[in-house]
Structure 1
């Protein structure tokens, strides 16, 4: 027993020794920075208690007879205003009482309480005197807190008043937020009494703003209402104001039938000259504007006008023709359902002009009978309601439509006799009139069609025997003449075409291939292929990128399947990117860019 005890004690001693050695191996802590995170708030709580008891205070802030005891060092530490007052050679630096004129006793008391506690209540009754006091006494964070409070109260009814207030108070953050609301809610703001009282420079500033959320027709009506509010002194400003209206984005019918006939416009020689310049430009069917119109015509769309993608009609999920119309916004990457087409149409054509969607012709699918239609349906996002427009001259389906300036051209298709037609007609939106044009030299079905520089290009297609036509047919818009060029490069059927700058992109058509035709150099350029052989799909250009939707494709087993694919092609990088899928499989549909004016939901 006694012999084993030392061994046991020895082991314990070794263990303790090892622990001691491990502790000694650690680095010795030579410095430790302790920070008491509660001390500063505790200190100010104690200082405020001393102030309230009148202990160690060395100055009285006075307003209208009320005296508020304070500590100079606290005031100096809290504000550049008091630092300059008490640390310079001002007489207040030696006075026990300091009168603060322009600050009411209650507001001064609240500000002092804020200095000692960092807390202050802000209400609509106190916010303005608090801002004035904060500005005078140089409490910038309190000033911005009052500004943030006012920004939360902003509405279309008071934003113009808030702008005037912000200028009086020299509050940039409030002014910018109020102006942002004024331009985004322009429709509501323009109807207010405050808007009619704007000065001419102020109104000009709004009309020049690219962020203005309004269509140009409304911009014109707004300036008219402003002038009519005080016609005697304001009618002389009509020319300067009219130059701020971006006439390029006004519907020609509205421009030439309403604006041109307005008495105020007619009273100004300079205004009528601008309208005549626009009229000459329209009639010349040219994309080059006169010198005198240049600065006005090149003005961009308002910032709040953005392009969206509209997908309409077609064959849905391999079943019957679809009445659906969908809108896709790239900024939110969401689909939104629009009003349904009034009837089901088989192989109608689709086009957008003046921010209005047109659905032209098609085969109406009735009970037992089908009728080739001349009907034209239109949809405006402002109302989200379908209406009928002036019908085409000839009934047709499986035709092509394309817009150019203020015209819509309808080409070929199949008529009531079920024969391929080469006829062409044109809709003039200035006069709401259809007129026949020169027929195409070789009637074809399902060509790829695009327009550029006063010409319409028709690539390929198929003849009555369903043989591919290796040909480019070109329609000269100004001369109403056709020319054609045979080429082995073209062999597309049921492929869309789009124009980006001076290149026309032909996308697929029973092939994966995409080629670009350079209209200036008169040559084809190879582009990156699509993933599958595709046909009966649709394409549109938004923000200089090509969006391809739906169609039919040939899978690896040579079986034709419907597609819900949604892809984007960037011509700058020559790269395809998947955008997900459509809400359903779709082909023979329309896919078009359409301008939206605001982010507000569309009417149901």
Structure 2
């Protein structure tokens, strides 16, 4: 009889027909009770099997047969856990690799899989649930009646990480519908419920991820959102409200009040009570649980006000916490507005989700529902800042698409996320662009930049939030283009440079890494110009404003050189506060190529700010040796941690600078590649926490 000659090759790998035939023959031997050597008993049922097969599929049986237990020398094994129906399913799986999961048996099967330590069976269960979760029609089969909570607790108890994570994500995505099931009311523990309530995305809309072509069509308005929602079988506007979360928690408490009342206060504290309408909260005061528990009654009455208005989170007292007033679904991200690349039909605002390590997005994403301020299309070189959850936008230039001319703006706007609109505030005293705003003592300071005539401004102006008015500063400072400013020890520090004066010097060197990145080649100004490198100089000034004295002080002046290689380069500077220290950052950047021509110079500033003649000097320089700056322009390192300067907004990436020459992947910087795209030119950027779902979906 001619057989199949099998030779293992790289292309063929394992010969699957052999494995299938082996499993089939073993199962046939079992059904014929041939060569079986053990009887597994559960209840009044007995199953014949082969020790070797059981030990190969179950760590429980392997330990039993090989560790010197009584059963290792006995032909009878008794199982005390589970049912005979489930055991029969798992024995069939051991011989065939097939198990019949259903809504009715999945919890029992998983429980016995865990007891018998059958890893392959657990993996099969996980895959079954994952497939059903992806199909909305089959989801009820896998998760109906809140079975997901039972599965989650089993997975957590037996440290089944993959299955636990799968269940957790499904619970987060569909918390409100699941909270109405018996499984939620009976199975969820106080610890699990608390962990769920701490999630900021618990009430997010549930929808499928749009394919790229549909996403672009929706963004551009080619296909309406409703049509895309219909195509995908989902609603683009569904959003659960916080009162539904409160209703779920109260339902959970009512189901077993005697046992759970000790957890009532700690659980309800995690509900965002401050964003729930007052009339709804008042209805809960009449419930028996709130009447019985003084702590619960206090929790609600602290949030309620006699006039029905919402309490001020800044005045939280008693059992209140600021989290009670934070809407779910918020994210913290870089937000950019305007810029030279944004036309009349382009998105006015974009965001870059740097704070989420799991995000797939590596580019700026339009905030489609954040409107433009009235009357200022195509704004650029303006400035933004944030205060008390609101955005403030000031100044800049308004570009005329039909002309190279543009007009300077004095306008000042406040964005209120509650109404998703801009409010025009009183104009600044003069039009400015290329300036910076900082907040101190309930005042917003506008510092630096150029005025309507293109001249450097020499006076700051302040906006008083109480009387909603602008005031000119009392003292004059040295003007600066695109300065950096920070609040440090209740004073304002500003660092920046004036107009390049084109004065070359042979006393300052231009640095450029060699091919290996190990040595720095130094060019004098004369040699740089001989090699067609233009050398320009600019005067950088560190200044301090003391609000108590209402006076500006010049702390330090330095002349820096900007070098170009067949192109126009720019010099950037920044001030960064870290661990109660202030650092100065200076670097050159090729405008056209969006890359650096030298490593950043980062120094700690040694300052004496309290004397009658405050001063500063440059301290030790921070190591930048293995910084991946050519991949992410604007990156620099302080105390071993990498920062990024995005249009003047300084972001701590949380990444450590490697100790040896890295690739971009080894420092996990690939997600920052798109942060300095050409579309960001002349945009204003700030860090902002906003309702992701209201503004993007």
Q: What TM-score does the superposition give when structure 1 sets the normalisation length?
A: 0.60
For 2:450 and 2:621, the matched residues in 1 are separated by 32
2:545 paired residue number: 474
- Would you say the 8 A contact 1:315–1:589 is kept in 2? yes
1:16 paired residue number: none
Give CA-to-partner distance per residue, 1:469-517, whole Å, 9 cap, x none: 85613143xx5x5332224525689855342313143535999866553
The answer to whether the aligner puts 1:347 opposite 2:381 as a matched pair is yes
Matches within 5 A, 1:428-447: 428=465, 434-436=468-470, 439-442=473-476, 444-446=479-481, 447=483
For 2:55 and 2:673, the matched residues in 1 are separated by 61
Shift in Å, 1:312: 3.7
1:505 paired residue number: 584
- Would you say the 8 A contact 2:459–2:472 is kept in 1? no
Shift in Å, 1:101: 8.9
The answer to whether the aligner puts 1:163 opposite 2:140 as a matched pair is no
Give CA-to-partner distance per residue, 1:451-482, whole Å, 9 cap, x none: 2343322235559x999685613143xx5x53
Change (3 A) 1:452 1:442: same
- Would you say the 8 A contact 1:448–1:461 is kept in 2? no
2:642 paired residue number: 545
2:362 paired residue number: 334
Give CA-to-partner distance per residue, 1:261-282, whole Å, 9 cap, x none: 976899459958xx9997479x
Considering only CA atoms, is the larger Rg found in Structure 1 or Structure 2?
1
1:425 paired residue number: 462
The answer to whether the aligner puts 1:177 opposite 2:156 as a matched pair is no
For 1:349 and 1:52, the matched residues in 2 are separated by 79
Shift in Å, 1:192: 5.2
2:619 paired residue number: 525
**Which stretch shows the higher mean deviation, 130-139 or 521-530?**
521-530
1:448 paired residue number: 484
Change (3 A) 1:418 1:486: closer
Secondary structure in 1 matching 2:576: strand
- Would you say the 8 A contact 1:309–1:594 is kept in 2? yes
- Would you say the 8 A contact 1:471–1:487 is kept in 2? yes
Secondary structure in 1 matching 2:169: helix
**Which stretch shows the higher mean deviation, 159-168 or 226-235?**
226-235
For 1:569 and 1:57, the matched residues in 2 are separated by 60
- How large is the RMSD of aligned CA atoms in angstroms? 6.4
Change (3 A) 1:203 1:56: closer
1:112 paired residue number: 91
- Would you say the 8 A contact 2:37–2:75 is kept in 1? no
Shift in Å, 1:143: 3.8
Give CA-to-partner distance per residue, 1:373-429, whole Å, 9 cap, x none: 42426497xx9x97313524436322422356987443466677988473523364x
2:338 paired residue number: 313
2:227 paired residue number: none
- Would you say the 8 A contact 1:445–1:461 is kept in 2? yes
Shift in Å, 1:305: 8.1
Change (3 A) 1:280 1:482: farther
- Would you say the 8 A contact 1:497–1:505 is kept in 2? yes
Q: What TM-score does the superposition give when structure 2 sets the normalisation length?
A: 0.53
- Would you say the 8 A contact 1:313–1:321 is kept in 2? no
**Which stretch shows the higher mean deviation, 500-509 or 178-187?**
178-187
Matches within 5 A, 1:117-128: 117-124=96-103, 126-128=105-107
Q: Can you give the 5+ residue segments of structure 1 that lack an aligned partner in the other structure?
A: 1-34, 248-253, 282-289, 532-536, 552-565
The answer to whether the aligner puts 1:485 opposite 2:553 as a matched pair is yes
Secondary structure in 2 matching 1:441: strand
- Would you say the 8 A contact 1:408–1:426 is kept in 2? yes
Secondary structure in 1 matching 2:557: coil
2:436 paired residue number: 400
For 2:689 and 2:302, the matched residues in 1 are separated by 27
Give CA-to-partner distance per residue, 1:27-63, whole Å, 9 cap, x none: xxxxxxxx99998876654443333344455677678
- Would you say the 8 A contact 2:338–2:684 is kept in 1? yes
Change (3 A) 1:517 1:270: farther
